[in-house]
């Protein structure tokens, strides 16, 4: 395992830990809000905004790299399950290239949006307080960028395996 691979794996684990932490924080926050509402007639201000713009976004986008690293995306193999190794590697390489292009464009666009919202200090007014929501915008480009790096590494591996098949046996 190279130094970069170890760093990437460690950073991905940090993102997964952050996503898991958002789940715990969201649960505690909502329980406190509901308890405050029904026991003391005093809910926490901004709970819905914080849940929608921080917890849910982090929970969805931060673990994308982990999912990509473990090849855990939903896959329909109805037509490809009986393919031989070479056609499957060609298909894996083509889908990997499409994934890289899509993820790169998505990372670029969400990064620009996150930057602009950060400069504007985007916020919402929730009851008596302002909730700054611009930091949650950065979860998307971060999650997609690391996912894209894994997609790139996996596509390079598929291309190398395909090249080794051309050099060695034709169709294993």
Query: What pTM did the predictor assign?
Result: 0.87
Whether residue 172 is contained in a domain is answered as no
- Residue 68, domain extent: 3-167
Both tokens assigned to 112 = 């620009």
Please report which helix (H) or strand (E) contains residue 166, including its range.
helix 139-167
Q: Would you give per-residue pLDDT tens digits along the chain (172 residues)?
A: 699 999 999 999 999 999 999 999 999 999 999 999 999 999 999 899 999 999 999 999 999 999 999 988 877 777 778 889 898 999 999 999 999 999 999 999 999 999 999 999 999 888 788 889 899 999 999 999 999 999 999 999 999 999 998 776 554 4
* Total domains present in the chain: 1
**Which parts of 121-138 fold into alpha helices (H)?**
none
Whether residue 61 is contained in a domain is answered as yes
C-alpha 104/C-alpha 63 separation (Å) is: 17
C-alpha 105/C-alpha 145 separation (Å) is: 10
Counting every residue written for the chain, the total comes to 172
């Amino acid at each position: 395992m190279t130094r970069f691979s170890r760093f990437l794996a460690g950073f991905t684990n940090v993102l997964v830990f952050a996503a898991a932490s958002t789940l715990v924080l969201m649960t505690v926050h909502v329980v406190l809000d509901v308890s405050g509402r029904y026991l003391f007639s005093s809910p926490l201000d901004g709970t819905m905004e914080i849940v929608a713009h921080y917890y849910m976004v982090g929970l969805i986008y931060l673990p994308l790299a982990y999912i990509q690293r473990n090849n855990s995306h939903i896959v329909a193999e109805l037509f490809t399950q009986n393919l031989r190794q070479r056609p499957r590697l060609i298909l894996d390489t083509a889908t990997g290239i499409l994934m890289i292009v899509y993820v790169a464009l998505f990372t670029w666009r969400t990064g620009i949006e996150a930057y602009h919202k950060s400069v504007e200090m985007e916020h919402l007014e929730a009851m008596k307080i302002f909730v700054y929501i611009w930091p949650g915008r950065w979860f998307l480009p971060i999650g997609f960028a690391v996912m894209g790096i894994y997609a790139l590494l996996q596509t390079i591996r598929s291309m190398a395996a395909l090249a080794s098949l051309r050099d060695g046996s034709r169709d294993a």
